[in-house]
């Protein structure tokens, strides 16, 4: 029970990496607020946690909306009586060269991947500073926040921004009880990856290529990301802040 008596918000927790983290955090004793656009899938995660004896609740939010982020933090405080862990994980991809990227594409991706986390942190920090005990903020960035990838300039730029957001917040709050880190997944088998690959001209070759791209020789799993995320927000990482941790089967080591 590494998160006993802790309360956590996880955005983008209806599917993929966020869902696996919600299940894992709850298994370790956290009360989890699942915040996402996808209601049915989010409620299913709540039910799964409840069936396993854990505590969770769902809130429908769009991370692009500052008021939704405020409402999410208030809901966590009202329901669970505190906020120890904020995990900004919701994200979207965009595979397109810059010349094929519209103004709307840029705004929409940056609003979710970058500003969503800023709004959430701005809403959560005052409460984290007020309450007793240490708190933790975690962002899902990506290996593409550390090394670039072809045909995804706006996505890479967004994830680079998330890494720096985490580091800058880590400095601001290091001596005030809030640790801030970024998780940098490699190629992880989630609905997002499935959508991305199935849209490519030759999905079968792409699956093979993606598996081989990581030195470990396979895709990562959402559960492997959840184990790393759990460690980063847990007491075991109490001296770790401002870190961008690759969970990528060695991808960024090359
Ligand atoms: N899968 C990968 O290979 C991979 C690699 C590196 C980083 N990531 C990052 O991991 C995070 C999770 O991605 P995933 O692969 O689990 O994808 P996913 O599509 O399975 O999950 C993303 C979740 O975010 C939610 N979401 C999207 N836009 C939202 C919005 N505006 N408001 C609220 N919720 C919203 C979706 O409903 C979904 O539940 C993302 O930030 C993604 O960029 C994924």
- Which structural domain range is residue 92 located in? 7-247
Sign of the alpha-carbon torsion through 60, 66, 72, 78: negative
* Residue to substitute in 14, 17, 149, 193 for testing ligand 1 pocket (most ligand atoms within 8 angstroms of CB): 17
User: Which tens digits make up the pLDDT trace of 234-244?
Assistant: 999 999 999 99
Q: Whose CA is nearest to atom 17 of ligand 1?
A: 192
Q: Is the pLDDT of residue 200 over 90?
A: no
Region at 217 (left for phi over 0; alpha for psi -120 to 50; beta for the rest): left
Within a domain: 212:
yes
Read off the pLDDT band of 201 (50, 70, 90): confident
User: Which tens digits make up the pLDDT trace of 38-94?
Assistant: 999 999 999 999 999 999 999 999 999 999 999 999 999 999 999 999 999 999 999
The structural domain count of the chain equals 1
Within a domain: 253:
no
CA distance 254 to 137: 29
Sheet hosting strand 135-140, strand order edge to edge: 55-60, 31-36, 7-11, 85-88, 135-140, 178-185, 244-247
> Would you name the residues annotated as active-site residues?
155
Read off the pLDDT band of 144 (50, 70, 90): very high
Within a domain: 206:
yes
Which residue matches tokens 């609905």?
A: 191
């Amino acid at each position: 029970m590494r998160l006993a008596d802790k309360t956590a918000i996880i955005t983008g927790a209806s599917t993929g990496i966020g869902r696996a983290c919600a299940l894992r955090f709850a298994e370790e004793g956290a009360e989890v607020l699942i915040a996402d656009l996808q209601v049915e899938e989010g409620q299913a995660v709540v039910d799964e946690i409840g069936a396993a004896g854990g505590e969770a609740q769902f809130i429908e939010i769009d991370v692009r909306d500052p008021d939704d982020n405020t409402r999410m933090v208030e809901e966590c405080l009202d329901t669970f009586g505190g906020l120890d862990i904020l995990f900004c994980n919701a994200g979207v991809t965009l595979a397109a060269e810059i010349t094929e990227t519209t103004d709307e594409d840029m705004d929409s991706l940056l609003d979710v991947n970058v500003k969503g986390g800023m709004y959430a942190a701005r809403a959560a920090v005052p409460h984290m500073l007020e309450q007793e005990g240490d708190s933790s903020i975690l962002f899902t960035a990506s290996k593409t926040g550390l090394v670039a990838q072809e045909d995804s300039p706006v996505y890479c730029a967004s994830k680079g921004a998330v890494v720096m957001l985490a580091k800058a917040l880590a400095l601001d709050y290091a001596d005030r009880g809030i640790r801030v880190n970024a998780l940098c997944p490699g190629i992880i088998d989630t609905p997002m990856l499935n959508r991305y690959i199935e849209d490519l001209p030759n999905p079968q070759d792409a699956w093979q290529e993606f598996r081989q791209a990581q030195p470990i020789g396979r895709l990562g799993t959402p559960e492997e990301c959840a184990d790393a995320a759990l460690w980063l927000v847990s007491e075991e990482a109490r001296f770790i802040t401002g870190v961008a941790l690759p969970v990528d089967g060695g991808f960024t080591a090359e």
